Amino acid sequence: MIVRPHPSPISLLFILRGSIIRAIVAELVVVFLAAACVTGVYHLRPMWFSGISLAPFTLLGLALSIFLGFRNNACYQRWWEARQQWGQLIAETRSFMRDLGALLPGQEERRQRLGRRAVAFAHALRCQLRGEPLEAAQPWLPAQDWAALAALRGKPGEILNIQSREIAGALRDGAMTDILYRLFSERLAVMGNIQAACERLQSTPTPFAYTLLLHRTAWLFCLLAPIGIASTLGWMTPFATVVLAYAFFGLDALGQELQEPFERTANAVPLDALARIIEISVLEALGETEIPKPLQPQDFVLL
Amino acid sequence: MIVRPHPSPISLLFILRGSIIRAIVAELVVVFLAAACVTGVYHLRPMWFSGISLAPFTLLGLALSIFLGFRNNACYQRWWEARQQWGQLIAETRSFMRDLGALLPGQEERRQRLGRRAVAFAHALRCQLRGEPLEAAQPWLPAQDWAALAALRGKPGEILNIQSREIAGALRDGAMTDILYRLFSERLAVMGNIQAACERLQSTPTPFAYTLLLHRTAWLFCLLAPIGIASTLGWMTPFATVVLAYAFFGLDALGQELQEPFERTANAVPLDALARIIEISVLEALGETEIPKPLQPQDFVLL
Amino acid sequence: MIVRPHPSPISLLFILRGSIIRAIVAELVVVFLAAACVTGVYHLRPMWFSGISLAPFTLLGLALSIFLGFRNNACYQRWWEARQQWGQLIAETRSFMRDLGALLPGQEERRQRLGRRAVAFAHALRCQLRGEPLEAAQPWLPAQDWAALAALRGKPGEILNIQSREIAGALRDGAMTDILYRLFSERLAVMGNIQAACERLQSTPTPFAYTLLLHRTAWLFCLLAPIGIASTLGWMTPFATVVLAYAFFGLDALGQELQEPFERTANAVPLDALARIIEISVLEALGETEIPKPLQPQDFVLL
Amino acid sequence: MIVRPHPSPISLLFILRGSIIRAIVAELVVVFLAAACVTGVYHLRPMWFSGISLAPFTLLGLALSIFLGFRNNACYQRWWEARQQWGQLIAETRSFMRDLGALLPGQEERRQRLGRRAVAFAHALRCQLRGEPLEAAQPWLPAQDWAALAALRGKPGEILNIQSREIAGALRDGAMTDILYRLFSERLAVMGNIQAACERLQSTPTPFAYTLLLHRTAWLFCLLAPIGIASTLGWMTPFATVVLAYAFFGLDALGQELQEPFERTANAVPLDALARIIEISVLEALGETEIPKPLQPQDFVLL
Amino acid sequence: MIVRPHPSPISLLFILRGSIIRAIVAELVVVFLAAACVTGVYHLRPMWFSGISLAPFTLLGLALSIFLGFRNNACYQRWWEARQQWGQLIAETRSFMRDLGALLPGQEERRQRLGRRAVAFAHALRCQLRGEPLEAAQPWLPAQDWAALAALRGKPGEILNIQSREIAGALRDGAMTDILYRLFSERLAVMGNIQAACERLQSTPTPFAYTLLLHRTAWLFCLLAPIGIASTLGWMTPFATVVLAYAFFGLDALGQELQEPFERTANAVPLDALARIIEISVLEALGETEIPKPLQPQDFVLL
């Protein structure tokens, strides 16, 4: 995520970081060259272009705008849902710690284990979503838990299973009633729902056929538009075409980036920073005194 | 679902799998021929076209874009809801297994039966939604359960009923309190809600009158537009018309495909792969050692 | 609801059932005649039309498209919510039967009464929403229940009240704990919510002022557009105007039909068929052997 | 709310009640006069208008359409949420009465008080939302309750507090278990949520800056458009401008009306009629025999 | 939030407060000057502009309108969610007080502490969201609570933890059953969810790349449009360009303001006034007699 004070209007025009322009510069060059060719032909054979107007291309451009608007909305919703799920995970972990603190007052060790394992869950989920090894979860887990995870595919889910067995142990010890067991069981179920929702967002992009259809329509438009523009704008045609291509390809590329909200990119959800917030919340609830600091943006980017 | 690394911009232009173009190639040919006829008439009798502009057709095209944008949004929402419901089923099954593991520690056999029946539910629902025979559920069910299902229409629902009776048995045995019974009853109710939502998505397409109205408007537009385009673009008319038809019919066909999210098609929800994830989660929770692998895409397609 | 296999593109053009065209044929004739008059005037006095372009009418048409798109979205949402509520009613009734089967195993008679009354609720709600007499609910109710309903306005609600008293009887008998009473009370509350939501959808159409504003703008557009089109398309003007009128009035009429999702019309929610599904689910859960068949579409229409 | 059978297409054109036209007649007159002036200038100095086209104004008009479409959607959502909240209040009150009837069978007096106070809550909320004195709630409250309310600001909230104390009394009497107390506490909490949501809708209109920006853009468009239209339509200019102004100002004014869903206006939510439905439901549940009739629309308007 | 009676149409045109115009006046001046330059060039070298039409710029403008419409929708949703969360906080605090009043009748001191701490939570959350010191919470907290907060980062969360420990104390005292503990625990969890949602809205703006892309496209459009307008409108070009720039930059700036709903600005959510409503509700529930008044708008602005 890019974090910066709202820049002045003029500096806004020259910011590169976070700009989508680097992702589409190749497309813009191709479009420019193609438009330059069309303009060249127009100057050699202007009569070929007599009577050609922009109207048919306008129609294509407008249809494209509407479809891009629709797809961007879908991509933005995915990105925002990803952020919501992680916000919910922060809230659930805090509620989990709150009830642990209130209901297991004499059982410091058990609380420590349960709390630290909640942090491990957040790290394991984060690493799985980013396709990274799960080592970040290891320092937060007892050794036998970490060993038990090794053989399993569904590592974050297994951490929840261990949590559940530990709490059920308290139920059998008589340290907790079944009413209170249910309270914790529902917190763990919500964490499981968050995990499933994140896996859904990660594994199911918007239908590939949309990407294809929009991308191809955008190319068709940008390559054909100069034919309609040349007779109107003459040598300015390539520049005008690039401006249009910037808007269309830019929105297309931005949607592409937003629809993968868990990647380690500048516009994605900052999982590292959110996992750190969970660490801080848990350690403060456990009464630790050495609390790490929240992650700070590097070069305006929070990962 | 089509799963592939984001292709390079150039290869994007030549990908056929997942492309909607195969579904609309007949329409495109018809439109091309019709536009070619109009262009022919125009060259024979140009004065018939004098003064004709694209403006009235533009208006129709824009209205069509807006209506197509609306319908596509509705179809996409259906597809996404289908995926959400199955993600929720994965999460619920995992929570069900988690609570079983924590609360029925000594009753290995009962846990096995309940867990494997949860997999059977997923397979039965999957097969019902795809209109396939329910044999895939058989290996996961005790023989008498499978026999009991034979006579009934609502097979997935009956599997939930058997689960419920088994858990109520544990309640009567004293192996479980009523508080914990309620916990399981609510998990089963959520699974029933997922079943009802999937049946709704399968049995209730978007209103047929929309399909008709949009399809007919698209045809009217594509057949009439050449009249307006011919005097502007001359012999390029058929090509320009096909480009417009590609965008409109392509979006129409894509909406049609997405609104049936449970079909066994390339753009649908990959029920087989999701049911396999449920298998893996349940078998790992039951402590099995032979765990099947997640399904891999064949030719970039996950079914 | 119209249920038919996806027709071939060509047959799509000739289907009448489900088409909105029959609802707007009068409007189309009026528009055609008006446009023909304008065209006649244009041929008599062409100089009156010199310099007139379609541009001002285009603007009106586009604004109309956007507003129609918005209203259609709202109407579609209402229709879809209506279908969702009934899908939810199916799921709730099944969960109700599931818990009854598990928790009242020895009390066959009570279960029979509760189950059959749940069917009566669905029928009573269906008939109330369609403005039909509630006789369909009578065979599913004990005689004294039916008599008690006679004097009351809120008949479906009273059926839920009777259910609730029957379950509270089991609580006082000691056949059920208060925990389990709450479980059933919440199922009944959800059914009451579904009832209230359906009554809301039935009694509160989209604001009448919208209907007026859109309908009038559509008329203004269709009557004025020929003035702008005549000088461009000549004698084709009435045909082009009718095509535009087909798209605009068609969408307007379709929205009108969808916003009354409980009517007995071809595009409405098929309450009869859904109530039959509830019958089947309940009878199967009660272990009956004579189960009615699901309703089949008549002439492609499911009511 | 305007309730009328769907009028015939022709009568639709002449209906005034519920039409937004009365709210914008002043604007339309001003626009007409301004356009007439522009047309006058055009006839005196046609060369001033040579070369002026509608294109720049079209762009403004289209942007305005899109922004109006967005704002109308937001206003409609507010109106619909207001209706949903009151539908939910009806359902919650009925569920409250249902559980009272089932769980307090011997305590007729307590049930009477609790039921009638639920009606008082609906009336108090209704009057507060409409800025009317709360006298309508008085007949439904015991005298000491009414006296206690006098000094307090949050009257509907205080009625819920009294309900809660009465139910907690039953808990202390042993007439109810804590499980059942929780059931009622959650019903009251939902009523409190409905109250807070209604207060939110009432006190927080859409941002004033939107209203300003849209209103001003609409004025700019309607005053400038005749400049572009005059050279095309000549003396028809004022009429065409008024048609456009009707669509834009009409939608603007309608959004304004819908965003205040609790006002006593023709297009608002009919709180009086909904509160009457709550009265009927409660009185029927209490077994009263004199039940008031549902409110009927006066002159097609239900308030 | 700006609160004012709906102004007359004419005064609407002259209102400055709340208007977005002050935020964009610099942009408008730049656009005016640039357009004036283009117009000057046009009068010196009209042949450079021969054949140039507005069509290519129209396309850009329309695409921009659609994308702005999408972004505004997203920003408005954020603002509205912020308001919803605070409305929910009011409702939850009232429900919390209601259950305290009903369930802890003899324990006046404990109720006082819990109630006042709920106000402290609202103030601490408000101050954190606005980046202000948390002193406003101090008068509502016992001294040792305030001291305990000093060292911690997550101050609002810690207040909830203290609440939870106090209620668990009542559970251990036997003043409350575990069922009722769960009721309070869920209220606190909802408050924690509200906190997490507000932190999400504050810390995660819409993706910066959107802001960049839209801002740059708006600039490109406003600087290029005069080229297309000049040959049509002549010396009126700068004025027409400024009108377009007013609509586009105005909507852009308004979206920017709405997406930071917790700032101390005129169009933001009035956290001070909402926190005051919580104070009033709590003090009335505690039976205090000196109740502060609701905050009144200053100069039509409620902060």
Q: How many CB atoms lie within 10 A of CB B276?
A: 18
Classify B23 as helix, strand or coil.
helix
Least confident range from A181-185, B62-66, B72-76, C2-6: namely C2-6
CA B268 from centre of chain: 4
pLDDT for res A199: 96
C–D CB contacts, 8 A cutoff, strictly below: 181
Return d(Cα A99, Cα A101) in angstroms, integer.
Answer: 5
Q: What is the pLDDT of residues B169-190, one digit of tens each?
A: 988 888 888 899 999 999 999 9
Q: What is the pLDDT of residues B100-157, one digit of tens each?
A: 998 887 788 999 999 999 999 999 999 999 999 988 999 999 999 999 888 888 899 9
Strand, coil or helix: B301: strand
How far does the CA of residue C274 sit from the closest CA of chain B (Å)? 10
B293 domain residue, yes or no:
no
Burial of B47 (0-12, 13-18, 19+ CB in 10 A): exposed
What's the pLDDT score for residue D7?
Answer: 67
**Domain for residue B227, yes or no?**
yes
Look at residue C292 and tell me if it is in a domain.
no
Short-list C54, D68, C230, CA closest to B60: C54
Q: Is the pLDDT of residue E53 over 80?
A: no
CA distance readout (Å), D275 to C18, D126, D127, D272, E221: 39, 8, 10, 5, 53
Strands (E), A2-94: none
Q: Residue C278 has what pLDDT? A: 96
Q: What is the mean pLDDT of residues C76-100?
A: 96
Residues from chain A contacting residue E66 (CB–CB below 8 Å): 65-66, 68-69
Question: Looking at chain B from residue 113 to 172, which residues have their Cβ under 8 Å from any Cβ of chain A?
Answer: none
Q: What is the mean pLDDT of chain C?
A: 89
Mean pLDDT of the residues in chain A: 89
Name the residue among A192, A196, A212 with its Cβ closest to that of B18: A212
Considering just the CA atoms, what is the radius of gyration of chain D in Å?
27
Under an 8 A CB cutoff, do C161 and D101 touch? Answer: yes
pLDDT band, residue E230 (cuts 50/70/90)? confident
- pLDDT greater than 70 at residue B162: yes
Beta bridge partners of C2: C301
**Phi, psi of B237, rounded to the nearest 5 degrees:** -50, -50
Contact call for residues C54 and B56 (beta carbons, < 8 A)? yes
Mean local confidence (pLDDT), D153-157: 89
Q: Nearest residue on chain A to B178, judged by CA atoms? A: A178
pLDDT at B66: 87
Distance between CA atoms of residues D245 and D29, nearest Å: 10
Q: Which of C14, C181, C243, C279 to mutate to test the interface with B (most CBs of B within 10 A)?
A: C243
Share of chain B above pLDDT 90, in %: 52
D134-139: Cβ within 8 A, 24+ apart = D136/D275
Q: Suggest the residue from B166, B202, B216 to mutate for an interface test with chain C (most C CBs closer than 10 A).
A: B216
DSSP label at residue E298: B
What single DSSP character describes residue A8? P
Say if residues C81 and C256 touch (Cβ distance below 8 Å): no
B63 Cβ under 8 Å from any chain C Cβ: yes
Q: What percent of chain E has pLDDT over 90?
A: 52
pLDDT of residue E9: 66
Residue D256 lies in a domain: yes
Closest in D27, D63, D164 to E101, CB measured: D164
- Nearest Cα to B139, choosing from B120, B157, B153, B118? B120
The model's pLDDT over D258-279, given as tens digits with 9 standing for 90+, comes to: 889 999 888 899 999 999 999 9
pLDDT at res. D228:
86
Helices (H) and strands (E) in chain C, counts: 10, 0
pLDDT for position C78: 94
- Give residue A80's pLDDT: 96
Q: Could you report the predicted ipTM of this complex, rounded to two decimals?
A: 0.94
A50 contact B CB<8A:
no
Average pLDDT for chain B? 89
Q: Give A193's contacts in chain B (Cβ within 8 Å).
A: 88, 91, 95
Residue E278 token pair: 């919580």
Which amino acid does the sequence have at E69?
G
pLDDT value, residue A20: 80
Polymer length in residues for chain E = 303
pLDDT of residue A37 exceeding 80, the answer is yes
Comparing CA positions, the residue from D162, D153, D198, D165 lying closest to residue E279 is D153
Question: What are the tens digits of pLDDT across the range E161-207?
Answer: 999 999 999 888 888 888 999 999 999 999 999 999 999 999 998 88
Q: What is the pLDDT of residue D212?
A: 86
User: What is the rounded CA–CA span in Å between residue C271 and residue C255?
Assistant: 19
Residue E197 tokens read as 């949602």
Question: CB under 8 Å to D68, separation ≥6 — which residues?
Answer: C63, C66, C67, D214, D218, D248, D251, D252, D255
- Contact between E19 and E301 (Cβ < 8 Å): no
Q: Considering CB atoms only, which of A74, A160, A179 is closest to B179? A: A179
CB B195 within 8 Å of CB B157:
yes
3-class state of residue D15 by DSSP: coil
A257/E196 touch (CB, cutoff 8 Å), yes or no: no
pLDDT at E164: 94
Give D2's strand partners. Answer: D301
Which residue type, as a one-letter code, is found at position C62?
L
Task: Determine the pLDDT at residue D300.
Answer: 84
Q: What is the DSSP letter of B246?
A: H
Torsion A30-A36-A39-A41 (CA) sign: negative
Report pLDDT for A141.
94
Token digits of residue D150: 């006098």
Q: Which of A225-234, B23-32, B288-297, C91-100 has the highest mean pLDDT?
A: C91-100
Determine, yes or no, domain membership for C298: no
Residue B23: per-residue pLDDT = 85
Helix, strand or coil for residue E51? coil
C275-293: average pLDDT: 93
Residues of D in Cβ contact (< 8 Å) with C204: 1, 83
Asked if D231 contacts C50 with a C-beta cutoff of 8 angstroms, the reply is no
- Measured at the CA of B158, the angle between CA B154 and CA B159, to 5 degrees, comes to 125
User: What are the two backbone dihedrals, phi and then psi, of residue B18, each rounded to the nearest 5 degrees?
Assistant: 90, -20
Question: Residue A135: how many CB atoms within 10 A of its CB?
Answer: 11
Work out the average pLDDT over E221-244.
Answer: 88
| Assigned token pair, A37 | 């060719």
Considering only CB atoms, B281 lies closest to which of A73, A157, A211, namely A157
Confidence of residue A57 (pLDDT cuts 50, 70, 90): confident
pLDDT, tens digit, 9 for 90 and up, residues E269-292: 999 999 999 999 999 999 998 999
Using the Cβ of C233 and the Cβ atoms of chain B, whether some distance falls under 8 Å is answered with yes
Q: For chain E, give the mean pLDDT.
A: 89
Q: List strand residue ranges (DSSP E) for chain D, in order.
A: none
Contact call for A240 and E217, based on CB within 8 A: no
Q: What is the pLDDT of residue D9?
A: 66
The residues with which A301 forms a beta bridge, in sequence order, are: A2, A298
| Residues facing residue A226 across a β-bridge | none
Cα D296 to the center of its chain, rounded Å: 18
From the list E117, E110, E218, the residue with the least C-alpha distance to E162 is E117
Residue in C closest to B181 by C-alpha: C180
Domain count, chain C: 1
Encode pLDDT of D33-60 as tens digits.
999 999 999 889 888 877 777 778 888 8
Of C135-144, D8-17, E123-132, the poorest mean pLDDT is in: D8-17
Substitution target in A39, A183, A251, A259 with the highest count of E β-carbons within 10 Å is A251
Contacts of C266 in chain B (CB under 8 A): 209
Range B33-62 average pLDDT: 85
Residue C42 to residue C64: CA distance in whole angstroms: 26
Q: Residue E130: exposed, middle, or buried by beta-carbon count in 10 A (0-12, 13-18, 19+)?
A: middle
Neighbours of chain D (3+ CB pairs under 8 A): C, E
- H-helix or E-strand spanning residue D199: helix D178-203
Residue C281: inside a domain, yes or no?
Answer: yes
pLDDT band at C276 (very low <50, low <70, confident <90, very high): very high
Contact A60 B18 (CB under 8 A): no
User: Would you say E99 and D171 are in contact if contact means Cβ atoms under 8 Å apart?
Assistant: no
Neighbours, chain B (3 or more CB pairs < 8 A): A, C
Q: Could you write out the DSSP letters of every residue in C205-263? A: PSPHHHHHHHHHHHHHHHHHHHHHHHHHHGGGHHHHHHHHHHHHHHHHHHHHHHT-TTS
pLDDT-based confidence at residue D4 (cuts at 50, 70, 90): confident
Confidence of residue E106 (pLDDT cuts 50, 70, 90): confident
Burial class of residue C184 (count of CB atoms within 10 Å of its CB; 0-12, 13-18, 19+): buried
Cα(first)–Cα(last) distance of chain C, in Å? 6
- Do C182 and C147 form a contact (C-beta atoms < 8 A)? no
Query: Percentage of residues in chain A with pLDDT exceeding 70?
Result: 97
Partner E contacted by D64 (CB < 8 A):
yes
Distance CA C146, CA C151 (A): 10
Please answer whether residues E27 and E249 qualify as being in contact, where contact means their C-beta atoms are separated by less than 8 angstroms: yes
Q: What confidence score (pLDDT) does residue A175 get?
A: 84
Distance CA C209, CA C207 (A): 5
Check if A63 contacts B (Cβ < 8 Å): yes
Residue E8 pLDDT > 80, yes or no? no
D193 touches chain E (CB under 8 A): yes
If one counts every other C-beta atom within 10 angstroms of the C-beta of residue E243, the result is 18
Of the candidates E251, E215, E257, the one whose C-alpha atom is nearest the C-alpha of residue A10 is: E215
Q: How confident is the model at residue A83 (pLDDT cuts 50, 70, 90)?
A: very high
Judge whether D184 lies within some domain: yes
Residue from B65, B221, B301 whose CB has the most chain A CBs within 10 Å, to mutate: B65
Single-letter residue type at C161:
N
> pLDDT tens across A234-258, in order?
888 999 999 999 999 998 888 888 8
E240: closest chain D residue by CA:
D56
Coil vs helix vs strand at E301:
strand
Asked if residue E133 belongs to a domain, the reply is yes
**Count of A-B CB contacts under 8 Å:** 183
* Nearest residue in chain D measured CA to CA from C219: D13
Q: How far apart are CA E140 and CA E127, in angstroms?
A: 14
Greatest CA separation found in chain B?
93
Contact C101 B212 (CB under 8 A): no
Minimal Cβ distance to C154: which of D66, D266, D281 = D281
What is the b/e burial string over E134-147, where b = at least 16 CB atoms within 10 angstroms of the residue's CB? Answer: bebbeebbeeebbe
User: Is residue D159's pLDDT more than 80?
Assistant: yes
Taking chain E, what is the end-to-end CA distance rounded to the nearest angstrom? 6
Contact criterion met (CB < 8 Å) for C53 and D54: yes
Does the pLDDT at position A32 exceed 70?
yes
CB within 8 A of C148, min separation 6: which ones? Answer: C158, C162
Q: Which of E168, E193, E216 sits opposite A13 (nearest CB)?
A: E216
What's the CA angle centered on E57, arms E55 and E62, to 5 degrees? 95
Gyration radius of chain B over CA positions: 27
The pLDDT of residue C9 is 66
User: Are A189 and B95 inside 8 Å of each other by CB?
Assistant: yes
* pLDDT tens profile B233-273: 888 899 999 999 999 999 888 888 888 999 988 889 999 99
Q: What is the DSSP letter of C291?
A: -
Q: Tell me which residue range forms the domain holding D156.
A: 31-285
Say yes or no: D246 contacts chain C, CB-CB below 8 A: yes
DSSP A298: B
Question: Above 90 in pLDDT, residue B12?
Answer: no
Q: Which is nearest to D273 in space by CA: D253, D243, D251, D303?
A: D303
**Residues on chain B touching A26 (C-beta within 8 angstroms):** 9
* Contact list, E69 vs chain A (CB under 8 Å): 69
